[in-house]
Amino acid sequence: MDKKIIYKGAEAEIVLSRYLGEKVVQKRRIPKSYRIKEIDSFLISFRTKEEAKLISEARSYGVSVPIIYDVDLEGGVITMQYVAGRRIKDILNDLDEKERKRICIMIGESVAKLHNNDIIHGDITTSNMILLDDRIHFIDFGLGGKNSEIETKGVDLHVLMEAFESTHSQHPKCFDYVLEGYKKEFLGNTDTIVKKINDIVKRGRYR
């Protein structure tokens, strides 16, 4: 099949392709002409390596993510499984309340598994989750990293809270359900995380 760009952002493009007979997605980091070439090459290689490591780690901790088939550090390309499901963003509003609650609890459990191991996704939105075989697959760890701080985990969840408020505002209980799942799975003190989220909300309000 011909390679087909299915998404193009400022930092990377997502290309539908084939690899060893399998339908795959390739995430290709875009070179920046305004950066010194050596620095640009280093950053592309470093960020590609870090993202691939995060995805592999997430899988090892029981979070559903695409399988990585190949990593080209020089070219800044991660070749991975094409997750042929549906984005949570596209289906959540149309589910009945019982199923919506179940899905949101599953999201919270997965985020807690990431946070238990100090993996910060960096862009947790319902656009970056795909439902396939009754598992929620997390995609796009490009803004992610490793961090043990409560603040960073609170920010990670706050991003998700804002995503619910903007995209699924007619279902105000979604984030409460997420926290329900998170509290079941998180090994630390969830009260400090929730307090941090509330602090972040207040900070935004009084800016």
Q: Which two tokens stand for residue 157?
A: 């969840």
Q: Which two tokens stand for residue 65?
A: 């993510």
Q: Which class for 29: exposed (0-12), middle (13-18), buried (19 or more C-beta within 10 A)?
A: buried
N- to C-terminal Cα separation, the chain? 51
Cβ-proximal residues to 97 (8 Å cutoff; 6+ apart), any chain? 171, 173
Per the annotation, the verdict on 123 as an active-site residue is yes
Q: Are 12 and 28 in contact (CB under 8 A)?
A: yes
Active-site entry in 72, 96, 118, 123? 123
Active site residues: 123
